[in-house]
Chains A and B, each alone.
Chain A
Amino acid sequence: MKSITRLFFAGLLLTLLSACGGMQVRGTGDLGLVIERASGHVTLVNTSIRKPYARIGGLGDLSHASVVYSRDARYAFIFGRDGGLSKVDLLEARVVKRVMQSGNAIGGSISQDGRIVVAQNYTPGGIKAFDAETLELLSEVPAEYEPGRFSKVVGLADVPGNKFAYALFDGGEIWVSDFSDPKRPVTRRFPAGLQPYDGLVTPDGRHYLAGLFGEDGIALLDLWQPEKGARKILEKYGRGEEKLPVFKMPHLRGWSVAAGRAWLPAIGRHEVLVADATTWKETARVAVKGQPVFVMASPDGRQIWVNFAFPDNGWVQVIDTLTGKVVQTLQPGKAVLHMEFTPRGEAVWISARDDNRVVIYDTRTFRQLGDFDVHAPSGIFFTSRAARIGL
């Protein structure tokens, strides 16, 4: 019996070794991936050597794809536009599982305990929950805001207590679904405002903010006191002036809080709105080069990096959070789509879609640290996301 056990383990070890292709045992803290939006590929990257180390294909339509990580930071869950959900092993550089979960998806999230992966869908509108291990469907919540009327779902984020918060673009509401029992989610609804276009959770997991497209303002829900309902902040920031055209919808994610303030894209104004993160009153606005798309705080909160919608998408600006002033304007390349900070923020990686390039900057000196070729890069996602709530 003993020798059989030993044989079994020797076999197992051999399988593991061959599966890893002789790869050295290593952690994943400095790994990540870059979405190649047009070719259905992802390029796996290492932020220590600042280079790609593998490329994986066959992932379908990855335009607007987004990624969350398993709690061990080894597996990436990639949500494709065509409804494909792929689980990729960063160490073995291969697709472990892949399912088609809807017709038209816009992203996803992973629960606080890491057991449930949830996809948000445009068609059919709603969210679907999957077992993170097997990608088996557990349950779904159709976004039926009126009998027979389904909304596109935006701004999905995980919040404490295995809950997920999201907004209904057509329904004008924020919904919070509790997946404590993953097969029987319980949903609460909160009126939010006209056309929420995206949402974010503050880094402490307490507040959910939904940006509104159809009116000037942001809907704020205190998840510690949901019974108080969603209220509007930064109302009428446009002061009734005519809006500038918005050629790309801004994105909100949890990086917008820095130095005690929330930094948010205005809609139809070339400004970043600044609100106190305790009182939620507007404290300042920063004039920038174009319609902001991503407004992202560095991990230490000292800087805010901003990219822009077409036709100003060749620029990136950096705001110093101490002075509230733009301190740097960069031209990383054509059609800048996304920025991602390394886990401790010494560098930022920027994708320039039409230059087919990822460019890496030093966040202190703004000097370029490196670059590499990638076909039509869009989202960049590092494994440091695995330990964050609200993504």
Chain B
Amino acid sequence: MSSSAFLPALLAILLGGLATAAWAEPPAARQKELIHLVRQDCGSCHGLTLQGGLGPALLPATLAGKPVEGLVATIIGGRTGTPMPPWHRFLTEDEAQWIVAKLMAGFPE
């Protein structure tokens, strides 16, 4: 890891550590893939603009107040009784953490 990538990563770990458990921010190239995955593939049910479809909206206002751990668990393990599948084959917990943080703040284009 180059020092320029190391510092933000360290910072993210430290900041993340303040909120919940420590998690590492994915590298920039992977972030791009994750944004595409969320917009396109999560978007099949939650909408390209994340305003909801067959699945609920994933906008900051709709997620506000929901526990982060619960949202991460839903992404990783799916939700029984609903069409939400488990994404653990394609995402690490850290990546799910990053996605939840971004969704709650307003997901990038």
Interface residues of chain A, those whose CB is within 8 Å of chain B, are 37-38, 61, 63-64, 81-82, 104, 106, 122-123, 152, 154, 169, 195, 197, 213-214, 245-249, 310-311, 335, 353-354
* Chain B: CB-nearest residue to A123: B52
Interface residues of B in 57-94 (CB under 8 A from A): 78, 81, 83, 85-86, 89-90
Contact B48 A81 (CB under 8 A): yes
Contacts of B45 in A (CB 8 A): 248-249
Interface residues of B in 19-49 (CB under 8 A from A): 36, 40-41, 43-45, 47-49
B54 lies within 8 A of chain A by Cβ: yes
Contacts of A104 in B (CB 8 A): 47, 51-53
Residue from B36, B53, B85 within 8 A of A64 (CB atoms): B53
Contact B54 A335 (CB under 8 A): no
Contact B85 A106 (CB under 8 A): no
Interface residues of chain B, those whose CB is within 8 Å of chain A, are 36, 40-41, 43-45, 47-49, 51-54, 78, 81, 83, 85-86, 89-90
Contact B43 A63 (CB under 8 A): yes
How many A-B pairs have beta carbons closer than 8 Å: the answer is 59
Contact B54 A249 (CB under 8 A): yes
Contacts of A197 in B (CB 8 A): 54, 83
* Chain B: CB-nearest residue to A353: B40
Contact B48 A122 (CB under 8 A): no
Known: A61-B47, A122-B54. 4 other contacts (CB 8 A): A37-B48, A245-B85, A245-B86, A248-B44
Contact A61 B86 (CB under 8 A): no
Interface of A is mostly: loop
Residue from A38, A82, A213 within 8 A of B83 (CB atoms): A213
Q: Looking at the assembled complex, report how far the CB atom of B15 sits from the nearest CB atom of chain A, in whole angstroms.
A: 31
Give Cα A81–Cα B47 distance, bound, in whole angstroms: 8
Give Cα A21–Cα B52 distance, bound, in whole angstroms: 41
Contact B52 A63 (CB under 8 A): no
Give Cα A335–Cα B44 distance, bound, in whole angstroms: 12
Contacts of B51 in A (CB 8 A): 82, 104
Contacts of A310 in B (CB 8 A): 41, 44
Give Cα A197–Cα B83 distance, bound, in whole angstroms: 10
Residue from B48, B52, B85 within 8 A of A247 (CB atoms): B85
Contacts of B41 in A (CB 8 A): 247-248, 310
Contact B54 A61 (CB under 8 A): no
10 contacts between A and B (CB under 8 A): A81-B47, A81-B53, A82-B51, A122-B53, A197-B83, A214-B81, A245-B78, A249-B54, A310-B44, A353-B40
Give Cα A106–Cα B76 distance, bound, in whole angstroms: 27
Interface-central residue, A37, A169, A245, A246, by most chain B CB under 10 Å: A245
Give Cα A248–Cα B41 distance, bound, in whole angstroms: 8
* Chain B: CB-nearest residue to A195: B83
* Chain A: CB-nearest residue to B39: A38
Contacts of A353 in B (CB 8 A): 40
Give Cα A35–Cα B9 distance, bound, in whole angstroms: 40
Q: Looking at the assembled complex, report how far the CB atom of B106 sits from the nearest CB atom of chain A, in whole angstroms.
A: 17
Contacts of B86 in A (CB 8 A): 245
* Chain A: CB-nearest residue to B37: A310
Contacts of B49 in A (CB 8 A): 61, 63, 81-82
Contact B85 A246 (CB under 8 A): yes
Residue from A61, A122, A214, A249 within 8 A of B44 (CB atoms): A249
Contact B47 A63 (CB under 8 A): yes
Interface-central residue, A61, A247, A311, A335, by most chain B CB under 10 Å: A247
Give Cα A242–Cα B54 distance, bound, in whole angstroms: 23
Give Cα A247–Cα B55 distance, bound, in whole angstroms: 12
Contact B54 A152 (CB under 8 A): yes
Contacts of A247 in B (CB 8 A): 41, 44, 85
Give Cα A29–Cα B80 distance, bound, in whole angstroms: 47
Contacts of A123 in B (CB 8 A): 52
Give Cα A169–Cα B56 distance, bound, in whole angstroms: 13
Q: Looking at the assembled complex, report how far the CB atom of A210 sits from the nearest CB atom of chain B, in whole angstroms.
A: 14
Give Cα A311–Cα B36 distance, bound, in whole angstroms: 13
Q: Looking at the assembled complex, report how far the CB atom of B5 sits from the nearest CB atom of chain A, in whole angstroms.
A: 27
Contact A311 B53 (CB under 8 A): no
Q: Looking at the assembled complex, report how far the CB atom of B59 sits from the nearest CB atom of chain A, in whole angstroms.
A: 12
